[in-house]
């Protein structure tokens, strides 16, 4: 029994998609903190908004990753990381209007 080696340009679980989504989430943490600082007068309100924003981003990153990890083959560039960043924030639009390519 042999295992077929994966070609370098094939997308996989530990491929460019995972790298892109992780970088997008890392960039989203300070953006969520900065955005949450505009809401509420108390720490509890700002922390709740921050937590909800992070939940939004993590949910989006999981959903976008699941839909794209088999097809993503391009290595992360600054432009592609910004595309992932926008995708994890705007994920409902991508799920509603995106084409199913399975």
Whole-number pLDDT of residue 45? 94
Whole-number pLDDT of residue 49? 96
For 3-42, the pLDDT digits (tens) are 655 555 555 567 788 888 999 999 999 999 999 999 988 9
Q: What separation in angstroms does the CA of 47 have from each of 60, 90, 100?
A: 20, 22, 36
68 domain residue, yes or no: yes
82 domain residue, yes or no: yes
Q: What is the mean pLDDT of the chain?
A: 84
24 domain residue, yes or no: yes
Residue 101 has pLDDT above 60, yes or no: no
7 domain residue, yes or no: no
97 domain residue, yes or no: no
Q: Which domain holds residue 52?
A: 16-90
Looking at the structure of the chain, the number of domains it has is 1
37 domain residue, yes or no: yes
57 domain residue, yes or no: yes
pTM for the structure as a whole:
0.78
């Amino acid at each position: 029994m042999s295992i077929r080696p994966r070609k370098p340009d094939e997308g996989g679980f530990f491929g460019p998609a995972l790298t892109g989504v992780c970088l997008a989430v890392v960039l989203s943490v300070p953006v969520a903190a900065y955005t949450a600082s505009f809401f509420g007068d108390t720490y509890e309100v700002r922390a709740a908004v921050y937590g909800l924003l992070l939940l939004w981003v993590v949910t989006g990153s999981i959903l976008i990753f699941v839909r794209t990890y088999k097809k993503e083959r391009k290595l992360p560039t600054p432009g592609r990381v910004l595309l992932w960043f926008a995708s994890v924030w705007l994920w409902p639009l991508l799920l509603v209007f995106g084409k199913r390519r399975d």
